[in-house]
Amino acid sequence: MSEEQGSERSRISAKAIALIVLAVLAVIFVVQNTEKTEVKFLFFDVQIGVWFGLAVSLVLGLLIGWLIGRRNRD
How does DSSP assign 28-63, residue by residue? HHHHH---EEEEEETTEEEEEEHHHHHHHHHHHHHH
The number of domains in the chain is 1
State the residue range of the domain holding 9: 2-73
For residues 2 and 29, the model is more confident at 29
Q: What percentage of the chain has pLDDT greater than the value 70? A: 82
72 pLDDT above the threshold of 70: no
In this prediction, residues 7-19 reach a mean pLDDT of 77
8 pLDDT above the threshold of 70: no
pLDDT at 5: 54
For residues 49 and 74, the model is more confident at 49
